[in-house]
Amino acid sequence: MTDSDDADVTRDAAEQAAQKLDALLVRLDEALAVMARAPAFAKPGKVPRVLDTARRVMLQDGGCAAVAARAEAIEQAGVFAGSDWATPQILIPSLSRIALRSAEADLVVIEALSELRLLAVSQAWFLHPLMSSEQAHHYLTQVLALNLEMLFSPPGEAERAQQGRLAQVPRNLFRYLAETIGYEHVIDQLIDEIWRIQQQRPIQVDMVKHMITQIAVCRGSGDINWGGSGQGADRLVSSLYGPTQATREDPGLEEYQRRLDSMDVTALQYEASGFARAMHDTGLVSPYHAMMLRHLPEQSDHLLAECLGLSATGRDCLLCYRELVHALIDAAVHPDTAQAVYGLALMLERGILYQAPVAPALWRQLRLPLSAAAEQRLVRTFGDAVPPASRLLEGVLCMMGLPLGVGQGNNPTCQSARALSMWACNDPDYLLQMVAWAARDDEIIMHFEGQSISSRESAGGVATEVPVDLDPVSLLVVPHLDRIYAEMGRRCLGREGDPHRWVNPEFHGWWSGRGFRINVDVATGLLHELEDFLRHFYAAYHPYYNGNQPLIHPQPAGIAVTDSAARFIGWHAITLLRVTLDPSGNMRAYFYNPNNDSGQDWGDGVVVKTAGNGEHFGEASLPFEQFASRLYIFHYDPLEYGEPAQVSQEELDRVIGYVHRSWGATRLPAGALQAEDGVPTPQ
């Protein structure tokens, strides 16, 4: 595909999107006009059409702005009449979180319409008889602060399960609100949230970079009174736009190249160490850093290692595979693919190039011809600022360097994301083989119990739509894996028990334990042999009961996801990584959650942590008891048997109490009653 073809594709897509929005706005205007003309008794019957059309509009780019421009017409038509939203002066900001996370589409839409109406009031686009501009502005800043994660975090597991595509409406809403009323009003909360997300070192950081750019714009505006807010913003902004002495004033890429050309070795070393500190501190890479790295192979490998911030392990790996590293930099590292620098650095630090197949596989990746379908998907998702092959190589380096940074996006493809992460951790050359098949052949073939399965010939997978909000590797590979995983499940139809027992080891790899336990009866959905399940889990993974045997390979597991009220949301795939004492001396389970942001409140005091308890980048953790209380499936090695009988009843009762107070509350067998402490007693 030529550059002109790519531009035509992008232009055509933009024109189609604009035409779709215009058509929807015509329908919205018609619905509002009909409602405005209707007598008072007939208006309630017109509301559903308005809300449904408004929902469709707000899902489009530019839709929220178009609705805000019609805020007065929406008010006058009577959309809010007879509801709590008719009196905005008594609305409570904290309740917006509940409304916007509702599974009821009309509730989400009317709350969003109310926020856009108040935005119009705050900007003096129209005068409201019950609320002043200042009151509306103050209300919206509180709503933004309380819903800050929606600015740049994709929907969580609970939101995806309850809302589906509707979950994108509040995200579009808050992005437009923040851009219009100004980020400075929620800047402190925004900064804290960025640091919290970056502590997890995700591969996808475009939205975080967008937020930091908005912070930089706000700080550079003379019209904004920051007051005492914005502490900690300098480090984030400088990490992208001025991490070193020569980039401090953000000189621009061309000017910085001229400065690099005139630097001596001492100045270059000073710049290199500055870039490395900023990158490893934040997990973000400046476009200037990419330029510096492209400049250094002509200088010395010592400076190259300094610029990547490598330890002795990484330096040795760089020197052993010097030609390959130089080729990777030349192909993958550009200002538009700056995160490839961080991926490359961490890949070298992991030392995985010393595994014999990895270096040849990377040489193949460098020369890999992409299929037309793969190129088209990469260009449509990431643009054509760099060749699609370079964009994919950036994704490969990031996944190899940050295997726990893989996210599933707003898609029910946790199984596929977990597989990619597990392979990147444990079998990187197999991951590279998957990438080659998907990108070059547009097909992946795997085997299930001796029979081959082709992604091209398999029926649909779990995802009903082709995922687009993924990293470059996932974008190409996940659709194939999703279909194959679903096909493996279909081949287990008719077997007794849960299909994960057979599918997971075949799909994820030989290291997945062939022993399998589940605490839910598949036929009824009721809890089944819970105590026995927990005893075996303790015996397999708790160091005090398994002979102090550390976990060797990451193991697939399944959890029952609950919301902050401890109510059951759905089943979710994770990877158990390790079990060990945390710095406070408490036994903790450390696991990988593909759900983009692992810091979640699962109710009943079960709050998942991502930092401060000995977590490595990308890990989530819980005290062992709390983790066990949300577990419903695990694999283990049946030949390595622990001591289930040694687990105390008191400890088991505490875990069972957590289960019965949360996702197990409605799954108790008929022969048991729930006691006050959550432990069942016989009838």
In a domain, 224, yes or no: no
In a domain, 502, yes or no: no
For the chain, give the number of residues: 683
Is the pLDDT at 68 greater than 80? The verdict is: yes
Q: Are residues 52 and 112 in the same domain?
A: yes
Is the pLDDT at 233 greater than 70? The verdict is: yes
Q: Are residues 596 and 665 in the same domain?
A: yes
Q: Are residues 61 and 75 in the same domain?
A: yes
Number of domains in the chain: 4
Q: Are residues 67 and 115 in the same domain?
A: yes
In a domain, 139, yes or no: yes
Chosen domain end from 453, 475, 491: 491
Query: According to DSSP H, which parts of 253-338 are helical?
Result: 253-261, 265-282, 287-295, 301-308, 312-320, 322-332
Q: Are residues 173 and 261 in the same domain?
A: no
Q: Are residues 394 and 447 in the same domain?
A: yes
Q: Is the pTM of this model over 0.85?
A: no
- What pLDDT does residue 225 have? 56
In a domain, 266, yes or no: yes
In a domain, 505, yes or no: no
Is the pLDDT at 528 greater than 50? The verdict is: yes
Residues 239-250 have pLDDT tens digits of 999 999 999 999
Q: Are residues 454 and 587 in the same domain?
A: no
Q: Partners of 453 in the beta sheet?
A: 446
Residues 303-341 have pLDDT tens digits of 999 999 999 999 999 999 999 999 999 999 999 999 999
Q: Are residues 255 and 179 in the same domain?
A: no
Q: Are residues 139 and 207 in the same domain?
A: no
Q: State the CB neighbour count (10 A cutoff) for residue 340.
A: 29
Residue indicated by tokens 């995983």: 485
Can you say how many angstroms the Cα of residue 30 is from the centroid of all Cα atoms in its chain?
Answer: 38
Q: How far apart are CA 159 and CA 57, in angstroms?
A: 20
Residues 129-171 have pLDDT tens digits of 888 888 888 888 878 877 877 776 667 666 677 777 888 899 9
Chosen domain end from 459, 491, 523: 491
**Cβ(625)–Cβ(658) below 8 Å:** yes
Tokens of 256: 């910085």
In a domain, 21, yes or no: yes
Chosen domain end from 352, 375, 401: 352
Q: Are residues 237 and 362 in the same domain?
A: no
Q: Are residues 34 and 177 in the same domain?
A: yes
In a domain, 424, yes or no: yes
302 lies in which domain range? 201-216+232-352
- What pLDDT does residue 56 have? 93
Q: Are residues 162 and 274 in the same domain?
A: no
Q: How far apart are CA 609 and CA 606, in angstroms?
A: 9
- 3-class SS at 139? helix
In a domain, 249, yes or no: yes
